[in-house]
Amino acid sequence: MTVSAHSRRAAKLSQDAVFAPDFREEPYWWTAAMPEAAQDGAAVLPDAADVVVVGAGITGTVAALELARSGLDVVVVDSQRIGEGAARRNAGFIGRTLKRSVAWLTSHSGQKHAIEVYRELDRALKGVERFVGREGIDCHHRTCGRFIGANSQSHFRGLVDDLEETRRSLGFDYSVIEPENVRSEIASDRYHGGAVIPDLGSIHPGLYHKGLVERAVHAGVRFHDRTYVTAIEENGARHNLHTSRGAIAARHVVITTNGYTGAELKWHARRVIPFSGFIVATELLPEELIDKVLPQRRTYLDTKMNIDFIRPAPDSSRILFGGMTGTKSASALPLAVPLRDRLVDILPDLEGVRLSRAWTGFCAGTFDFMPHIGRNGNVHFGLGYNFAGIPIGTHFGSIIANRILGQGDTASVFDTGRFPTFPFYRGRPWFVPLAMRYFDWHDRRIAKE
């Protein structure tokens, strides 16, 4: 056998050891909820509508659904197929967690503001369950609880202090998992204790979004996929949107593009920081193996700033794992093996596991680590979810619809009137890899305290 033949055989053996026969570089969620071409996608845009929504994700679709049911003419445009963005790429965690804790917000903005933030996060969390129940969407919504594993003794002390402050201020329950009891939650020796937050949940994000789109279409919403917005011009009481499929006028415009905000939306692009997230899904595993490594079948993450996160798939016997967020890579394939190795390092019982899916997608942060909702005239927006996309996206969609209709719940602590940006930033986040390295350094420093 020639050297090149040996090399090809070695490469194939290596691939066989990592990738299952059904491996595809696409989101696991697409197996049940493939992105679709819109029914109106090939049609010429209408000349006008009451409301044009830019971005067919969770926020935009919830807003469109509620507006259409109230009798307004709603058009949704998206630069990709419907469901191709973050709505059917994310991990499906449902929580009330931001990078700014109650204690941090209290020390920087006062206790009243901190409590208002987390009360609204709690409303958003509970709102998903109410919305799914009301709409009858079959999307594996489950209140499974979340285990947070501490990456060091210092992280453990900080985690418990933060959760205790939250309980004192807001009454949100949690239980401490001492280091010797970690394996009751996860079969890993990686963590120095942790905590369980019992009322957090999980969902199949693909089926959730698919259900939203189906109900919006039934309500009369017209979706146009592969339609790029190139400019928005104010024209008296209306706005003219120029797109790759022509122009459309609307009284109200809703911007819900988040990590897919294009440079053409200049004001909004300057205020969101897109970054890549990466997730892999294992091959089919024996149910008893999943019960061994994740005995409570919760969602799982750690205390690092740049977290690793784990969950069981809700509709098959696979485990999903994400990490290495912010790595500069247009494809998930180069990170598939490092992610698999990191998963096995956390859960050694998965030694030899192969991958069936690997994918990436854009998330969006903000310069103050907070979500933002607001309006510039009749241009409304909900952006910068900072890993809280499903609950906050659903919540913001309802609020934006209510604001346009002039009814119901319209207040939000995240509408501060100030959406910070940075001098010379135009929406190209060249600094994200540097920021991630800084966060890694910061976590290592805390671990030594």
Closest CA to 325 of 348, 305, 350: 305
Tokens matching residue 363: 């998330």
Mean pLDDT of all residues in 213-229 = 96
Q: Position of tokens 């070695």? A: 10
Task: Report CA-CA distances (Å) from 330 to 243, 251, 337, 362, 429.
Answer: 26, 37, 16, 10, 14
Q: What is the DSSP string of 400-442?
A: HHHHHHT-S----TT--S-----TT--S--TTHHHHHHHHHHH
Statement: residue 54 has pLDDT above 50? yes
Residue type, 226: R
Q: Which helix (H) or strand (E) holds 72?
A: none
Q: What angle do CA 14, 313, 28 make, to 5 degrees?
A: 60
Over residues 59-115, the pLDDT tens digits come to: 999 999 999 999 999 999 999 999 999 999 999 999 998 989 999 999 999 999 999
- Looking at residue 3, what is its pLDDT? 39
Q: Where are the beta strands (DSSP E) in 136-189?
A: 146-149, 175-177
Q: What's the rounded Cα separation, in Å, for the pair 196 and 183?
A: 13
Better-scored residue on pLDDT, 194 or 448: 194
Residue 11 banded pLDDT, cuts 50, 70, 90: very low
Strand partners, 281: 320, 357
E runs forming strands in 25-125: 48-54, 74-77, 93-94
Q: Residue 258's pLDDT is what?
A: 95
Q: Which two tokens stand for residue 434?
A: 């540097």
User: Band of the pLDDT at 441, cuts 50, 70, 90?
Assistant: confident
Model-level pTM? 0.93
| Domain covering 29-89+207-273+368-430, topology | FAD/NAD(P)-binding domain (3.50.50)
Q: Where in 287-354 does DSSP place strands (E)?
A: 299-302, 309-312, 319-322
108-129 exposure pattern, b = at least 16 Cβ within 10 A, e = fewer = eeeeeebbbbbebbbebbbbbb
Mean pLDDT calculated for residue range 335-363: 96
**Kind and range of the H or E run holding 135:** helix 111-135
Compute the distance between CA of residue 50 and CA of residue 70 in angstroms, rounded to an integer.
12
pLDDT tens column, 365-410: 999 999 999 998 899 999 999 889 999 999 999 999 999 999 999 9
pLDDT given for residue 1 in this prediction: 40
Burial of 136 (0-12, 13-18, 19+ CB in 10 A): exposed
